[in-house]
Amino acid sequence: MSEHYGKVALIGLGLIASSMAWAMKRAGMATEIRGYARSAETRETARRLGFCDVICDSAEDAVADADLVVLATPVGVMGRVAETIAPHLKPGATVTDVGSVKRTVIEEVSPYLPETVHFVPAHPMAGTEHSGPDAGFASLFDNRWCLIVPVENAPEDAVARLERYWQALGANTERMDPEHHDLVCAVVSHIPHLIAYTMVGVADDLSRVSDQEVIKFSAAGFRDFTRIAASDPTMWRDVFLTNKGATLEILGRFTEELFALQRAIRTGDGEQLHAYFTRTRAIRRGILQAGQDTDKPDFGRIEVKR
């Protein structure tokens, strides 16, 4: 079976959906791309950019006769979107999503989907601090991982077809169960974002009493915190509220580590600090060796051409 779907409906037209559309076009897929976004302004921007063949004024129209439906909205509204589109889904269609939380999405979306469609959740581990339809580019998923999180009893051919589709967009794929997915993402994405938001908030409070010196003299580490903290606030609010269990578990472990480092600093235990920093430094080397980043200092993130 081909990895190409005849018609793809993108519900939500932000960074991920627009990048998917550009990547589909780059791959030469003979696919009709239909798109819908709640905001009329977003729909108009998408029309102007031209990454969809058809921009619809309702989610119902977008999914009609679609072979693949992609939920690319904030995770907090995916259940409501599923309820809206469910009666209009074509039998045999695959419904997927691109949210960074899986257990809650599965629990909120699955009850609305008819038995005649296949639900195969997914999560492309790629993104930038930018959002909106004009933020997307075709190479966003190149050599990044898309985690495929099939629901129980999902047909193997539907899961494998979605894997081939994501591979055609440039991504590597790996299957994962929902609970493990949510825990892994809490470690590699959710908590780092929370820490970045917190550190930038602390710096903002400090800068108000230090004549903006935090902003004027920010070094590379703080600049990268601000880049991460510039991410879409609606998306991240929903992520933390829907992945509460895993987030709190990893946040607790982080707090314990932080207390240990505080104690080492207070007691002057340089040996412990050096050993800790040496161990954590190896993680960066592993990321570089896996081809998931380069060692170039690009804290401003060089703009990528579509």
Task: Dump pLDDT digits (tens) for 148-175.
Answer: 999 988 999 999 999 999 999 999 999 9
What pLDDT is recorded for position 27? 94
- The pTM for the full model equals 0.83
- pLDDT digits 0-9 by tens, 230-252: 878 888 898 899 889 999 999 99
Q: What is the mean pLDDT of residues 102-107?
A: 96
- Annotate the chain with DSSP letters as a single string: --S--SEEEEES-SHHHHHHHHHHHHTT---EEEEE-S-HHHHHHHHHHT-SSEE-SSHHHHHTT-SEEEE-S-GGGHHHHHHHHGGGPPTT-EEEE--S--HHHHHHHGGGS-TTSEE--EEE----S--SGGG--TTTTTT-EEEE-PPTT--HHHHHHHHHHHHHTT-EEEE--HHHHHHHHIIIIIHHHHHHHHHHHHHHHHHTTTTTHHHHT--HHHHHHHHHHTS-HHHHHHHHHHSHHHHHHHHHHHHHHHHHHHHHHHHT-HHHHHHHHHHHHHHHHHHHHTTS--SS--TT-PPPP-
- pLDDT digits 0-9 by tens, 182-234: 999 998 888 888 988 888 888 777 766 565 666 666 666 777 777 788 878 88
Q: Which fold has domain 180-289?
A: 6-phosphogluconate dehydrogenase C-terminal fold (1.10.3660)
What pLDDT is recorded for position 298? 53
Domain limits, the chain: 7-176, 180-289
Q: Does domain 7-176 have CATH number 3.40.50.10420?
A: no
- pLDDT digits 0-9 by tens, 55-71: 999 999 999 999 999 99
Per CATH, 7-176 and 180-289 having the same topology is answered no
